[in-house]
A and B are shown apart, each in its own frame.
Chain A
Amino acid sequence: QKEVEQNSGPLSVPEGAIASLNCTYSDRGSQSFFWYRQYSGKSPELIMFIYSNGDKEDGRFTAQLNKASQYVSLLIRDSQPSDSATYLCAGKNAGGTSYGKLTFGQGTILTVHP
């Protein structure tokens, strides 16, 4: 079973809409989660980080974490064509020999059309 699963996508939303990206994880010990954005042909870059239950907002981006249900989400408000990219969810492994490493989901491709 994959440890971090993302909604398969691809996801297409109109400009100005809210894009909702979801991620579930199986390691209940995972405590920190990272959302990376990856433009085509480029390397991943961090856009949001969350480790407390609840919401964390940064500009048009809101990350949500629900540890009881083991899901993480990323909301992008007022979506722009420049938000079109692949979004990768990653969880920090809890312990043992995997300590400190991140486990990445398979990514969700988002397209924002004008």
Chain B
Amino acid sequence: NAGVTQTPKFRILKIGQSMTLQCAQDMNHNYMYWYRQDPGMGLKLIYYSVGAGITDKGEVPNGYNVSRSTTEDFPLRLELAAPSQTSVYFCASSRTSGTPLSYEQYFGPGTRLTVT
């Protein structure tokens, strides 16, 4: 299993540009998440999904959009990039089947995004 994969690894955007961060998992997990991590800070939840076709906002959703058409893929769209969106973005997934350990989240390698 590849686990959770993310592309690209690095990206530089100009202010006002748009892009899509790709995330895929091959563990048949129903829950998927997008986080951002600013330097020296913890993880802030942007959006999450509990299954194909179902998404919901996290604590910092402004400036982002998501879709989930399949169990495997959960892309994050940035519209009109701003310097405040400079961060490292992590995608994660979990089985969340009701048992305590099923809430463990598995993380992708991250995308380092700079907006200038």
Give me the interface of A with B, judged by CB distance under 8 Å: 31-32, 34, 42-46, 49, 51, 88, 90, 92, 97, 100-102, 104-107, 109
Q: A-contacting residues of B (Cβ < 8 Å)?
A: 31, 33, 40-43, 45, 48, 50, 56, 58, 90, 94, 96, 100-101, 103-105, 107-110
Which residues of chain A are within 8 angstroms of B45 by Cβ–Cβ distance?
101
| A44, B94: Cβ atoms closer than 8 Å | no
Of the candidates A49, A88, A104, the one whose C-beta lies within 8 Å of that of B104 is: A49
Are the C-beta atoms of A49 and B110 separated by less than 8 Å? no
User: Which B residue's beta carbon lies closest to that of A44?
Assistant: B107
25 A-B contacts, Cβ less than 8 Å apart? A31-B100, A32-B100, A32-B101, A32-B103, A34-B105, A42-B109, A42-B110, A43-B108, A43-B109, A44-B43, A46-B104, A46-B105, A49-B101, A88-B42, A88-B43, A92-B103, A100-B94, A100-B103, A101-B45, A102-B105, A104-B42, A104-B43, A106-B41, A107-B41, A109-B40
